[in-house]
C-alpha cells in the first residue's frame, strides 16, 4: 500500500467513536490549498492512533501522512465502494520565519562570561 502526505490547516476535530467492542476511530478535517480554491478533506485515525490528534489545535498547520484504503460493501445485491484516508502520522509545520530569527546557542567555549566590563580593560 502506498503512503501519501499532504499539508494543510486543521479545520475540525471530532471526538473518538467506539464503533464496536474492538474498533475505534476519530475523524478530522484538513483545509488544503489547491490553486485559487481550498479543499476540505476528511481523514480518519483508528485504534491507538486516535490520541495523536490531541496535541494539535484547530487552525494549526499540519503535515498528514496517510494510506488510501478502499473496500466494497454489498447489501441487498447492491455493491457500494468506500474509501478511507487512514492516517498513521501527523507532524506540526514550523514556519521558516521562526527558525530564521531564532538564535543559535554558541558552544560554551564561545560564551562571553570573561569579557571585560569596560572599554578601559581592553588590551589595545
pLDDT digits (tens, 9 = 90+) for 65-93: 999 999 999 999 999 999 999 999 999 99
Residue 110 lies in a domain: no
User: Which spans in 1-124 are helix H?
Assistant: 96-101
Domain that holds residue 77: 3-95
Q: Residue 92: count other Cβ atoms within 10 Å of its Cβ.
A: 12
Nearest to 42 by CA among 29, 61, 57: 29
CATH number of the domain residue 44 falls in: 2.40.50.140
Residue 8 lies in a domain: yes
* Residues linked to residue 82 through DSSP beta bridges, in sequence order: 71
Higher per-residue confidence, 123 vs 74: 74
Residue 119 lies in a domain: no
d(C-alpha 43, C-alpha 7), whole Å = 13
Query: The pTM is what?
Result: 0.70
Q: Residue 123: count other Cβ atoms within 10 Å of its Cβ.
A: 4
Dihedral sign from CA coordinates of 13, 19, 21, 25: negative
**Domains: count for the chain:** 1
Phi and psi for 15 in degrees, rounded to 5? Answer: -70, 155
Amino acid at each position: 500500500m502506498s503512503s501519501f502526505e499532504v499539508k494543510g490547516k486543521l479545520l475540525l476535530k471530532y471526538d473518538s467513536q467506539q464503533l464496536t467492542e474492538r474498533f475505534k476511530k476519530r475523524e478530522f478535517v484538513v483545509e488544503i490549498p489547491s490553486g485559487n480554491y481550498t479543499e476540505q478533506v476528511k481523514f480518519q485515525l483508528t485504534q491507538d492512533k486516535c490520541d495523536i490528534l490531541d496535541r494539535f489545535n484547530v487552525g494549526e498547520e499540519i503535515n498528514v501522512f496517510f494510506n488510501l484504503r478502499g473496500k466494497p460493501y454489498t447489501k441487498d445485491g447492491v455493491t457500494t465502494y468506500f474509501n478511507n484516508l487512514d492516517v498513521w502520522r501527523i507532524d506540526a509545520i514550523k514556519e521558516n520565519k521562526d527558525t530564521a530569527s531564532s538564535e543559535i546557542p554558541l558552544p560554551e567555549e564561545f560564551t562571553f562570561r570573561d569579557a571585560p566590563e569596560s572599554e578601559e580593560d581592553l588590551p589595545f
